[in-house]
Amino acid sequence: MQMDDGLEGVVAARTVLSEVDGAAGRLVLRGHSLDAVAGRWRYEQVLALLWRGFFEDAPDGDALAGALGRARVEAASLLRADDREALSALPPVEAMRALLARVPDGDDLPTALRLVAATAVFTAAVLRWRAGLPALAPQADAPHAADLLRLAHGAPASAAQAAGLDAYLVTVADHGLNASTFAARVVASTGAGLASAVLAGLSALKGPLHGGAPGPVLDMLDAIGSAGAAARWLDAALDRGERLMGFGHRIYRVRDPRADALKGALHRLAEAGGMQPERVALAEAVERAALASLQARKPGRVLETNVEFYTALLLEALGLPREAFTAIFAAGRVGGWIAHAREQVRGGRLIRPQSVYVGPAPDARQECAEPLPA
Ligand code: ACO
């Protein structure tokens, strides 16, 4: 038997959902390249694409949008009067973990819709509570991204803002067998149900090596402050042995295509007056300096910009606070977790790898001398 720390060279699933081509820097979502859908499709349409064939009565994008709107209203009824006091002090992703645990398990389309709806509604509610405000009621007939922004901000989103969030949710909807999707598939493979699989995905997403990086990207930009200070600040961080958030990837050996999709969305938002051009310019200067420093220090390892760098800028421009970025990421990736969980249940076996025991061998004499536990 071979052991592969981090399972880097292990193929653990067959999937029709997405292909991550790390050498070419290409992401395919069920037959569509990311470039063809990001910024063009609504999140509901990508959900319909990913879920096609995995539920008995999977609707098309428009029907799914209506059902998802009704599911948002239903999800809001899972919130309780004392949640605000009990949960607003927690980091948003932890509050969301507690709230999502209320969604009953199931394997059908209503459960799937409820989970996508709940992820968005709960994220917005947590943000409102943290601002000392009450949660708002969802609008069943609104597009999902626009309603999420309205629920978070308490005011309707502009068309450019809604399009920006749609581009984000679509871009992160699925991405091969990343850590959180693998966690979701492991749980689904036991037959535990969709809500359990989604909770596993969320828990894996929380870590800074996966979905927890974009908040720290903004911390880094704030600490750098100006384009001229970038190289010195970044070199000092690397000298301290720190990793630069928003750079490097386990699979991509070229630029993460999602970084460009989000950079495009950011520029469209800036052109519509939705963010300050100086912030974009600072980010691009920091990106150039970071890539140069990483290249100089690790000439044998391609460390490129990943999805989290422009995620941070885009979500900031949409007025979402950095501590909520991982929860918003989950609001997009939840669609992929669900599709993978269904695919695993349909065709897969129980996922159960083996471990190599490297502890001490039992000492026969000592074992004989030890009394049996009571
Ligand atoms: N900054 C500085 N050095 C880095 C970075 C980075 N961002 N990424 C990798 N390296 C270095 C490592 O220290 C390592 O150096 P060493 O060989 O001297 O120990 C070398 O490059 C190879 O790194 P690995 O650990 O093999 O890379 P791995 O594939 O395990 O990690 C990861 C990928 C976790 C994304 C890593 O690049 C990282 O920590 N990046 C910063 C956090 C981040 O942006 N996370 C979001 C990822 S995207 C997502 O999950 C949605």
- Do 56 and 191 share a domain, yes or no? yes
- 65 inside domain: yes
- pLDDT at 57 (0 to 100): 80
- 359 inside domain: no
- Do 334 and 293 share a domain, yes or no? no
- 264 inside domain: yes
User: pLDDT per residue over 177-224, tens digit each?
Assistant: 999 999 999 999 999 999 999 999 999 999 988 887 778 899 999 999
- Do 328 and 304 share a domain, yes or no? no
Token pair belonging to 310: 């422009």
- The mean pLDDT of 255-265, rounded to a whole number, is 93
Between the alpha carbon of residue 257 and those of residues 22, 179, 190, 262, the distances in Å are: 10, 19, 33, 9
- Do 76 and 102 share a domain, yes or no? yes
> Quick check: CB of 306 below 6 Å from ligand 1?
yes
- Do 178 and 250 share a domain, yes or no? no
How would residue 369 be classed by pLDDT, with cut points 50, 70 and 90? low
- Do 312 and 329 share a domain, yes or no? no
- 248 inside domain: yes
- Do 124 and 175 share a domain, yes or no? yes
pTM: 0.92
Domain range enclosing 141:
23-209+322-347
- Do 115 and 260 share a domain, yes or no? no
- Do 332 and 280 share a domain, yes or no? no
- Do 230 and 264 share a domain, yes or no? yes
- The mean pLDDT of 255-280, rounded to a whole number, is 90
How would residue 282 be classed by pLDDT, with cut points 50, 70 and 90? very high
- Do 187 and 41 share a domain, yes or no? yes
- 362 inside domain: no
- Do 72 and 164 share a domain, yes or no? yes
Of the three residues 317, 335, 359, the one that is the final residue of a domain is 317
> Quick check: CB of 248 below 6 Å from ligand 1?
yes
Give me the number of domains the chain comprises.
2
User: pLDDT per residue over 39-90, tens digit each?
Assistant: 999 999 999 999 999 998 878 889 999 999 999 999 999 999 999 999 999 9
- pLDDT at 4 (0 to 100): 86
How would residue 374 be classed by pLDDT, with cut points 50, 70 and 90? low
- The domain that holds 242 is classified in CATH as 1.10.230.10
- 102 inside domain: yes
Yes or no: say if 1 and 138 are a contact pair by the CB < 8 Å rule.
Answer: no
- The mean pLDDT of 26-42, rounded to a whole number, is 96
Pocket test of ligand 1: the residue of 205, 243, 307 to mutate, having most ligand atoms within 8 Å of its CB, is: 243
Determine which one of 44, 308, 316, 343 is catalytic.
308
- 249 inside domain: yes
Task: Indicate the residue type of 14.
Answer: R
Q: Name the nearest CA neighbour of 38 among 263, 261, 215, 188.
A: 261
Q: Is 372's pLDDT higher than 80?
A: no
Averaged confidence pLDDT in the chain: 93
11: left (phi over 0), alpha (psi -120 to 50) or beta: beta
Pocket test of ligand 1: the residue of 180, 249, 262, 291 to mutate, having most ligand atoms within 8 Å of its CB, is: 249
- 4 inside domain: no
For 107-111, 173-177, 308-312, which range has the lowest pLDDT when averaged over its residues? 308-312
